[in-house]
Amino acid sequence: MQKRKLGNSTLEVSALGLGCMGMSFSYGPPPGKQAMIAVIRSAVENGVTFFDTAEVYGPYANEELVGEALAPVRNQVVIATKFGFHINPGGTPPWTGLNSRPEHIKQAVEGSLKRLRTDVIDLYYQHRVDPEVPIEDVAGAVKDLIREGKVKHFGLSEAGAQTIRRAHAVQPVAALQSEYSLWFRRPEEEIIPTLEELGIGLVPYSPLGKGFLTGKIDENTKLDATDFRSTLPRFTPEARKANLALVGLLGQIAQRKNATPAQIALAWLLAQKPWIAPIPGTTKLARLEENLGATAVELTSEDLREIASAASQIPIEGGRYPEHIEKMTGR
């Protein structure tokens, strides 16, 4: 597995990481814990060194799962987790709002350290920008945690360019985690140029469009009531039917490259910048192996031009989130 540096930081990770959220949260009834530990450990055996979780996933259960799975190889891997929600265990949703007050961050880190069975968090993200707390105060709190040796690197998630600049001036930001894929390209407008200027890495979540770009989902696919995609405008049957045009494009390229649509989608992301490290999630060993195969797919500059040209002609139907969640995106 190739390694990548996240921007100008000293943080080196596998080119593809593993997003662990779906192993205990959001995508319908989660599989058994031991099966998920097996997937995580198989990822390690296949060269993955970058694992993503958050305290709100579960809540708490996902950090516990990741901590148990990675305990035997802790010194070989990079663990990223997130703070910033007021957790509401047992509630739906499992949070009651944002909370990035410095005292809350310093309390949250202790729980994450314990659940992850570690004495230091490699990459600590603010999960969503909290409009009630100046980002300078958030960056200052994480700076204190870095000074205390509890955190190694500071990250932001779904933050806007202005917020990134303000945070970076207080404590260098190693990475921004944001949704980015062939069916959500808004980061190209302002975010990616800002990250390039400041020397910050990009960690795309949902690089396969929450599973849609694999080609295994169409307008007739039944989503479980507990699968959060059933609440997303982009996953209505009508939107799915319209958006299959993009999957068709990926399928054409995949056939030519002896690859799968998912591998083309991931290879496209990897080809955008050398400091981009996507974190596709899965609960299946076969899908894990398929995703990791993307690192062997070579897209020429001609392939990339063809994909860009064809994709630009395909309008994507439906918003990516309901309005109340979309509002959590920073400025």
- What positions carry a catalytic annotation? 57
Q: What share of the chain is helix, strand, coil (3-state, %, to 5)?
A: 45, 15, 40
The residue written with tokens 């579960």 in the block is: 58
* Cis status, amide bond into 59, omega within 30 of 0: yes
Closest CA to 151 of 175, 177, 180, 178: 175
* Cis status, amide bond into 93, omega within 30 of 0: yes
Q: Quick check: 80 and 325 in contact, CB under 8 A?
A: no
The residue written with tokens 């996507």 in the block is: 278
**Strand, coil or helix: what is 101?**
coil
Phi, psi values for residue 96, rounded to 5°: -120, 25
DSSP conformation letters of 42-89: HHHHTT--EEE--TTTTTTHHHHHHHHHHGGGGGG-EEEEEE-EEE-T
CA distance 158 to 213: 21
CA distance 196 to 191: 9
CA distance 7 to 286: 31
**Strand, coil or helix: what is 215?**
coil
